[in-house]
């Protein structure tokens, strides 16, 4: 197992390119189960999570060919309806095979999902939506057993305690495209990843309207076709690089960014004193000299993304003054706080709120990554800190950031890997 070693305290310069979206790729790969025809997916990031999803598709009976960032998925004639624990338990996104398996086979046996430990993440909204479409489900030995000989369109409300659910919306969408009749999903997730999935399904021949809005209407069709589709850039990776530039007081250019997907982040950074300007094929980040502390609350899209909360905390930890961060999506997502404090940050948690008293300088230290986005926050802190930072358990990083060390080296960062 490797660790990251960072010699921080120096500004970065140059340009960096954003990879394809991890959170959009996973449900789109799952959606290839809905057709027997070949599907070509391009601009796929090389990540632990995408590798896991491809292994899962193979275990379900799909043929998979990988060539650089291009993946060709085809059918060998027979699908398996059982999604194995050893794969699904490592990554929550793999649970989205449930909807397409039900739609295609009329039955599915899918292990309860795993992934990052960032708080309670139930699957009740998945079950609620699929139940409305005519699915009968039981729980047995950690598996969801679902049976639906004939899915029927229905009116489904997917609002939850902490708002809408991206994966639940994806699962219901994929089940509904082959259901008989019309399905209306109210309080659907509006994230760009759902818009990407809707675009992919539409190209396959699905009849979908409203994806990317709180109300999605789907008219079921009998079959879907194979397509060629290019993944959108990863907005969370782009946001991480923007916050990295701000924390290290660096002027860098970031290529392949859809800036309209990051409006909430850009708005906050404008208040902080960081300029994010659109340039050809990307954006340019220019931090001001005197940054100001700005409080922030996460919400479902188009609000500030919970997946950038930890990275924003890393920035605020070195902005003099007091800022307050509230996470309304995952109120327990603060496992990065003790590790940032090991580096000299002054952060205390009170329930679902983090209170940050900014310090002038962080100091490098050995730290432990607890989850994917916390790992990114520690990288940002390490780059901004004085001295050496050792980040352990970087397999979390490799779940969501493609070749991050190589990309940072391209910006002039002193980053390398060492064996644990």
Active site residues: 116
Can you tell me whether residue 112 is helix, strand or coil? coil
Is the peptide bond preceding residue 288 cis, with omega within 30 degrees of 0? no
- Asked if 116 and 92 count as a contact pair (C-beta separation under 8 A), the reply is yes
**CA dihedral of residues 401, 403, 409, 410 (deg, nearest 10):** -100
Strands, E, within 114-178: which ranges? Answer: 136-140, 143-147, 155-157
Distance between CA atoms of residues 6 and 69, nearest Å: 28
- For the four alpha carbons of 342, 343, 346 and 350, in that order, the dihedral sign comes to negative
Say which residues have a Cβ less than 8 Å from residue 206's Cβ, sequence separation at least 6: 177, 218, 221, 224
H or E stretch at 90: none
> Which ranges in 273-371 belong to alpha helices (H)?
309-316, 337-342
Distance between CA atoms of residues 277 and 305, nearest Å: 20
197-210 in b/e burial notation, b at 16+ Cβ within 10 A?
bbbbbeebbbebeb
- The count of other CB atoms within 10 Å of the CB of residue 312 is 29
Distance between CA atoms of residues 133 and 141, nearest Å: 24
Tokens of 403: 């070749």
Q: Comparing C-alpha atoms, which of 307, 317, 419, 323 is closest to residue 374?
A: 307
- Asked if 190 and 214 count as a contact pair (C-beta separation under 8 A), the reply is yes
Can you tell me whether residue 307 is helix, strand or coil? helix
- Asked if 43 and 187 count as a contact pair (C-beta separation under 8 A), the reply is no
Q: Comparing C-alpha atoms, which of 113, 10, 36, 2 is closest to residue 386?
A: 10
Q: What are phi and psi of 14, to 5 degrees?
A: 115, -155
- Asked if 291 and 272 count as a contact pair (C-beta separation under 8 A), the reply is yes
According to DSSP, the residues that pair with 134 across neighbouring strands are none
């Amino acid at each position: 197992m490797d660790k990251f070693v960072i010699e921080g305290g120096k500004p970065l310069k140059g340009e960096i390119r954003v990879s394809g979206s991890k959170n959009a790729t996973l449900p789109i790969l799952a959606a290839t189960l809905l057709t027997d025809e070949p599907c070509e997916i391009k601009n796929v990031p090389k990540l632990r999570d995408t590798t896991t999803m491809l292994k899962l598709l193979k275990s379900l009976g799909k043929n998979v060919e990988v060539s650089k960032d291009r993946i060709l998925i085809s059918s060998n004639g027979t699908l398996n309806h059982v999604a194995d624990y050893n794969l699904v338990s490592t990554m929550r996104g793999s649970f989205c095979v449930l909807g397409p398996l039900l739609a295609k086979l009329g039955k599915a046996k899918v292990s309860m999902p795993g992934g990052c430990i960032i708080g309670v993440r139930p699957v009740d909204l998945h079950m609620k939506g699929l139940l409305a479409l005519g699915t009968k489900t039981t729980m047995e030995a950690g598996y969801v057993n679902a049976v639906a000989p004939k899915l029927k369109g229905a009116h489904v409300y997917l609002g939850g305690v902490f708002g809408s659910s991206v994966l639940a919306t994806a699962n219901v969408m994929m089940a509904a495209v082959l259901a008989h009749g019309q399905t209306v999903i109210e309080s659907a997730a509006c994230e760009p990843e759902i818009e990407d999935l809707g675009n992919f399904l539409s190209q396959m021949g699905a009849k979908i309207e409203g994806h990317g809005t709180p109300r999605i209407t789907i008219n079921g069709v009998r079959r879907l076709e194979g397509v060629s589709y290019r993944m959108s850039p990863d907005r969370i990776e782009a946001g991480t690089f923007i916050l990295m530039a701000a924390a290290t007081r660096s002027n860098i250019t970031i290529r392949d960014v859809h800036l309209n997907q990051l409006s909430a982040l850009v708005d906050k950074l404008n208040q902080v004193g960081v300029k994010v300007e659109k340039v050809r094929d990307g954006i340019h980040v220019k931090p001001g000299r005197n940054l100001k502390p700005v409080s922030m609350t996460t919400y479902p899209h188009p609000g500030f993304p919970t997946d950038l909360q930890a990275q924003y905390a890393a920035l605020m930890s070195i902005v003099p003054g007091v800022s307050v961060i509230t996470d309304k999506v995952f109120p327990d997502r603060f496992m990065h706080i003790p590790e940032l404090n090991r580096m000299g940050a002054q952060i205390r948690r009170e329930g679902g709120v983090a209170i940050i008293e900014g310090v002038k300088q962080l100091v490098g230290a050995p730290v432990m990554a607890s989850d994917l986005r916390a790992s990114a926050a520690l990288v940002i802190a390490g780059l901004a800190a004085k001295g050496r930072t050792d980040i352990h358990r970087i397999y979390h990083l490799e779940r969501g950031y493609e070749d991050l060390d190589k990309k940072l080296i391209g910006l002039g960062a002193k980053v390398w890997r060492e064996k644990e």
